[in-house]
């Protein structure tokens, strides 16, 4: 048993490591497209700076870094034997506009911290920390570009999608100095044992129950759609109210319907997050209004039913008001259970870190839901103070980072001694 001096020294060492993790997240936060706030989108110039900064941290750890054809940063830590299978640990490096410093980035920095904490110790499997180039869907309204490359689902249609400047994903890859013809080389093979992702909860649940860590047992399904109400632009002062074809008023009515219907279904969340009215002048009736819709539920049938109802409501409103309506699906991601074996191992590791585990469903999408289609996947949530995320006030507590590192080290030890884990992939 450790004496009190050793215990005190161990805590101070752990605290120092945890503070370094937080400091590194803050360092990456300064690599932004915007002055005074954080925004780092897919293959933007600050992403190159981010890669360079992280690669410098790897030099003392015996890990090698490389960048694949979609800009994912791979950090490879060898196993005890060459050609051993790999365990992936990762999260994303891109952000939303006006972001916090920890969403996604914390998971990558924690993965590097785990490599450092090993002090050269090796396992029967290699460890590969992955910093995904894109998860948020900001630049191209297309999420998970980074992790989708690893599972082989980036097709020509996706690569042809364009950002607001008319630059396609394929062109953005080329502009960054990468070769889209080599995207297939990023696809993982049968030598990957599983995927682990540390992430802030981005919600208030863990804080409300006083738990620093949680084990994710499922990630909700998501539907993302775009709607366009088309009416007639006209003079705001000379067009009587009963002779208007106001696309924005129609959209507003529909938004209220979405909110009302979503509140009536347990566990359902629906959000209209972006509106663009044209021509956008104070004295002109909006002739076209474009909106986004995000719908989530852990049961796919409930989500699908809600989406169909929202579409029907939009069509009824447009018909009644004499407007046109177009809609298209941008994302239809099924709910994803995490791997039962790995979730159980995460629970054990959380206990070894001195915490009571708490199983939960993630209401946000994560790269783990994409990787889970190919390999066993699990997530560990860290408590989010105030439940605040996607905002500069986003934070994480030093003591929770300490617990996360302890949990991660225990989990690696557990998996290294598990012949069951190393012999075959544990499917959910």
The pLDDT assigned to 9 comes to: 52
Region 404-412: mean pLDDT is 98
The gap from C-alpha 335 to its chain's centroid, in whole angstroms, comes to 14
Listing DSSP states for 218-280 in one string gives: EE-EEEEEEEEEE---EETTTS-GGG---HHHHHHHHHHHHHHHHHTSTT-EEE---EEEES-
CATH of the domain at 206: 3.40.630.10
Is 68 domain-assigned?
A: yes
The pLDDT assigned to 428 comes to: 43
Residue 326 to residue 223: CA distance in whole angstroms: 16
Average pLDDT across the chain, whole number: 94
The pLDDT assigned to 44 comes to: 97
Single out the residue of 231, 234, 228, 302 nearest to residue 262, CA to CA.
Answer: 302
pLDDT band at 7 (very low <50, low <70, confident <90, very high): very low
The pLDDT assigned to 424 comes to: 54
What is the tally of structural domains in the chain? Answer: 2
Q: In 3-state terms, what secondary structure has residue 327?
A: strand
Residue 343 reports pLDDT greater than 70: yes
Q: Are residues 141 and 236 in the same domain?
A: no
CA distances from 181 to 67, 126, 154 (A): 14, 27, 12
Residue 273 to residue 280: CA distance in whole angstroms: 18
The pLDDT assigned to 94 comes to: 98
The token pair at 296 is 């989530």
Q: Are residues 94 and 193 in the same domain?
A: yes
Taking every pair of C-alpha atoms in the chain, what is the biggest distance, in angstroms? Answer: 85
Q: In 3-state terms, what secondary structure has residue 284?
A: strand
Domain end call among 333, 359, 391: 333
Is 112 domain-assigned?
A: yes
Q: Are residues 60 and 91 in the same domain?
A: yes
273 CB burial (10 A radius; 0-12, 13-18, 19+): exposed
Element (H, E) at 96: none
Listing DSSP states for 113-171 in one string gives: HHHHHTTT---SSEEEEEEES--S-TTTS---HHHHHHHT---HHHHT-B-TTS-BHHH
List pLDDT tens digits, range 71-130: 999 999 999 999 999 999 999 999 999 999 999 999 999 999 999 999 999 999 999 999
Strand pairing of 234-235 and 284-285? antiparallel
List pLDDT tens digits, range 206-228: 999 999 999 999 999 999 999 99
Q: Is the torsion defined by CA of 406, 191, 129, 100 positive or negative?
A: negative
Is 308 domain-assigned?
A: yes
Is 75 domain-assigned?
A: yes
| Under 8 Å between Cβ of 39 and 129 | no
Q: Are residues 304 and 339 in the same domain?
A: no
Is 428 domain-assigned?
A: no
Q: Are residues 72 and 187 in the same domain?
A: yes
Q: Are residues 73 and 199 in the same domain?
A: yes
The token pair at 402 is 């300490």
Q: Are residues 63 and 181 in the same domain?
A: yes
CATH of the domain at 241: 3.30.70.360
216 strand-pairing partners: 360, 379
Q: Are residues 204 and 349 in the same domain?
A: yes
Domain end call among 292, 310, 333: 333
Single out the residue of 363, 335, 332, 356 nearest to residue 407, CA to CA.
Answer: 356
Q: In 3-state terms, what secondary structure has residue 397?
A: coil
Residue 17 to residue 402: CA distance in whole angstroms: 8
Is 113 domain-assigned?
A: yes
Domain containing 303 equals 221-333
Q: Are residues 17 and 70 in the same domain?
A: yes
164 CB burial (10 A radius; 0-12, 13-18, 19+): exposed
Residue 296 to residue 333: CA distance in whole angstroms: 9
List pLDDT tens digits, range 36-83: 999 999 999 999 999 999 999 998 898 999 999 999 999 999 999 999
Residue 5 reports pLDDT greater than 80: no
Domain end call among 288, 308, 333: 333
Single out the residue of 3, 115, 11, 109 nearest to residue 402, CA to CA.
Answer: 11
Region 156-167: mean pLDDT is 96
Residue 80 to residue 121: CA distance in whole angstroms: 9
Residue 29 reports pLDDT greater than 80: yes
């Amino acid at each position: 048993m450790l004496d009190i001096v050793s215990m005190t020294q161990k805590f101070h060492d752990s605290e120092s490591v945890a503070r370094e993790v937080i400091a590194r997240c803050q360092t990456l936060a300064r690599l932004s497209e915007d002055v005074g706030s954080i925004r780092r989108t897919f293959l933007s110039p600050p992403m190159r700076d981010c890669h360079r900064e992280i690669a410098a941290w790897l030099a003392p750890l015996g890990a090698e870094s490389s960048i694949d054809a979609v800009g994912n940063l791979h950090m490879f830590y060898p196993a005890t034997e060459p050609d051993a299978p790999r365990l992936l640990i990762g999260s994303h490096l891109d952000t939303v506009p006006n972001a916090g410093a920890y969403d996604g980035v914390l998971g990558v920095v924690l993965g590097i911290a785990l490599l450092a904490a090993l002090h050269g110790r090796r396992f029967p499997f290699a460890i590969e920390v992955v910093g995904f180039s894109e998860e948020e869907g900001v630049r191209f309204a297309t999420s998970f570009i980074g992790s989708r490359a690893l599972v082989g689902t980036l097709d020509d249609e996706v690569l042809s999608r364009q950002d607001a400047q008319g630059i396609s994903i394929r062109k953005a890859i080329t502009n960054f100095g990468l070769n889209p013809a080599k995207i297939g080389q990023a696809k993982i093979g049968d030598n990957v044992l599983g995927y682990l992702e540390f992430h802030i909860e981005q919600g208030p649940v863990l804080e409300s129950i006083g738990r620093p860590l949680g084990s994710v047992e499922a990630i909700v399904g998501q539907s993302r759609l775009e709607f366009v109400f088309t009416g007639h632009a006209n003079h705001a002062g000379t067009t009587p109210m009963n002779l208007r074809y106001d696309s924005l008023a129609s959209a507003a009515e529909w938004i209220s319907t979405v909110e009302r219907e979503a509140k009536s279904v347990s566990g359902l969340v629906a959000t209209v997050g972006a509106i663009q009215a044209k021509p956008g002048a104070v004295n002109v009736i909006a002739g076209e209004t474009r909106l986004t819709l995000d719908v989530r539920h852990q049961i796919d049938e409930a989500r699908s039913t809600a989406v169909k109802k929202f579409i029907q409501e939009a069509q009824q409103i447009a018909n009644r008001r004499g407007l046109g309506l177009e809609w298209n699906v941008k994302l239809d991601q099924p709910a994803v259970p995490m791997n039962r074996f790995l979730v159980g191992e995460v629970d054990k590791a959380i206990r070894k870190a001195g915490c009571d585990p708490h199983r939960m469903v993630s209401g946000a999408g994560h790269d783990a839901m994409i990787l889970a289609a190919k390999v066993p996947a699990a997530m560990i949530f860290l408590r989010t103070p105030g439940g605040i995320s996607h905002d500069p006030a986003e934070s994480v507590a030093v003591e929770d980072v300490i617990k996360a590192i302890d949990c991660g080290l225990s989990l690696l030890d557990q998996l290294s001694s598990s012949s069951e884990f190393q012999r075959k992939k544990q499917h959910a």
